[in-house]
A and B are shown apart, each in its own frame.
Chain A
């Protein structure tokens, strides 16, 4: 019975992983990853890691996937571009070679436990009570370090993604130069900015862009002067 459950979950996990890599639409890739994570949680249950399986479903398939879906909806998630021809051939070849190498390394390692079903089951193995006791006694320092890391990541995400002044317009960095030109020279001195039509000089109607296009009205105005 456990073998049937294992193969069901393993095939689901691997097919979900293949879907993440091959699906063109990022939204479907995110959904495929959520399916993969749920199937992986089933494998964790088979390995008697109840708390890790529950955390996987709640934290990963719940919270992190919601974050992904929101970002895909915000950015747009259009069809992604195909990669270069060299990488498209070499990437899967590299992955295949890595699979073979890892299988040889792990199954041929000579560890006797690899061929068995694991250590005899102790009542309470992998329950939240045992994990919590370990986190607050033996692994207290990693626990505190993880909490500080989460705080740093939350602040970093807010700093990175906040709406800054000048971030909307990519032409904004050129603005300080114009301000310097204007402040360095008096108003009646010609400058390159006036030559480019950025700022017409005062007291000179011939350069005034509102008057120049229509010839008749410009002559009338000149006569008035």
Chain B
């Protein structure tokens, strides 16, 4: 398959994630949609690595996976802390940093 097809799939996955971040209100689902966006970018990076025949893009994709794992741990820790304080789990209600 031509590389262009992979880039189209990555663009579609990225935009589904971006639309989900805009539409959903549950912070847990927003984190899932952020994962979708990161994975779309990962697919484009790996496709470009295949296009140029170098592994730098794959290294970049692995580092992106590390950053995504860090983001997930901190985000889920925040959600657990919000749940413990009996605050509403809704990004529209949690628009202030003040606890």
Residues of B within 8 A of A (CB): 1-9, 11-20, 22-26, 28-29, 31-33, 35-36, 39, 42-43, 46-47, 49-53, 55-56, 58-59, 61-63, 65-74, 76-81, 83-86, 89-90
The docked-state distance in angstroms from the alpha carbon of A40 to that of B37 is 13
Is A6's CB under 8 angstroms from B4's CB?
A: no
Residues of B within 8 A of A75 (CB): 28, 79-80, 83, 89
Residues of B within 8 A of A71 (CB): 28, 76, 79-80
| Number of A-B pairs, beta carbon distance below 8 Å | 245
Closest CB of chain B to A100's CB: distance in Å? 9
Residues of A within 8 A of B (CB): 2-3, 6, 10, 13-14, 17-18, 20-21, 26, 29-30, 33, 36-37, 40, 43-44, 46-49, 51-52, 55-56, 59-60, 63-64, 67-68, 71-72, 74-75, 77, 80-83, 87-88, 90-92, 94-96, 98-99, 102-103, 106-107, 111, 113-120, 122, 125-126, 130-131, 134-135, 139, 142, 146, 149-150, 152-154, 156-161, 163, 167-168, 170
Determine which of A51, A91, A98 lies in contact with B58 in the assembled complex, contact meaning CB atoms within 8 Å. Answer: A51
Is B2's CB under 8 angstroms from A115's CB?
A: yes
